[in-house]
Each structure stands twice: as structure tokens, then as C-alpha cells.
Amino acid sequence: MKVIISNLLLFIGGQEIVVILLFIVMFFGSKKIPELAKGLGKAVREMRDASNDIRKEIQDSASEEKRDES
């Protein structure tokens, strides 16, 4: 996911970011932006935690398979 975001940011210039921010302020209002950022941060954190859990389970399963083969 980091690769997708970093590749996307390569194609977005300063003017585009300003336009996007203005659109967000007009659409949601300045009072809602902190709530949106908090919710987005929480969602990203939960996805990262779930991804780490899945990765750990796969690694544990792989290490068990290696021990069984030995």
C-alpha cells in the first residue's frame, strides 16, 4: 500500500494538493476536518494492525512447516 501511495504522490503537484484541500474544506467545512483526520488515522492504524497480524500468522505457519520437515 505504501508503494501505491508513494507512486500516486509522485504525480500530484503542489497546485493539485491545494485544489484538493480547498475542495475538502468547502465540502466538509473547517470544523469537520479534525474529525475526518482522526477517523482516517484510526482506520489506517486498524488496517496496519490487521496486516501485521496476518503477516505474523503466515510467518509462524512457515516456521512450523520448517520445523516439521526437519
Tell me the pLDDT tens digit for each residue of 30-51. Answer: 888 888 889 989 999 999 999 9
Q: Based on the domain organization, do 35 and 68 belong to the same domain?
A: yes
pLDDT exceeds cutoff 90 at 26: no
pLDDT of residue 10: 65
Same domain as 62, residue 36: yes
pTM comes to 0.56
Same domain, 22 and 41: no
Q: CB within 8 A of 10, min separation 6: which ones?
A: none
Residue 19 CA to residue 21 CA, distance in Å, equals 5
Residue 29 Rama label (left phi>0; alpha psi -120 to 50; beta): left
13 vs 3 pLDDT, higher one? 13
36 & 69 share domain: yes
Q: What share of the chain is helix, strand, coil (3-state, %, to 5)?
A: 85, 0, 15
What backbone torsions phi and psi does residue 37 show, to the nearest 5 degrees? Answer: -65, -40
Q: Which pLDDT value is given to residue 20?
A: 85
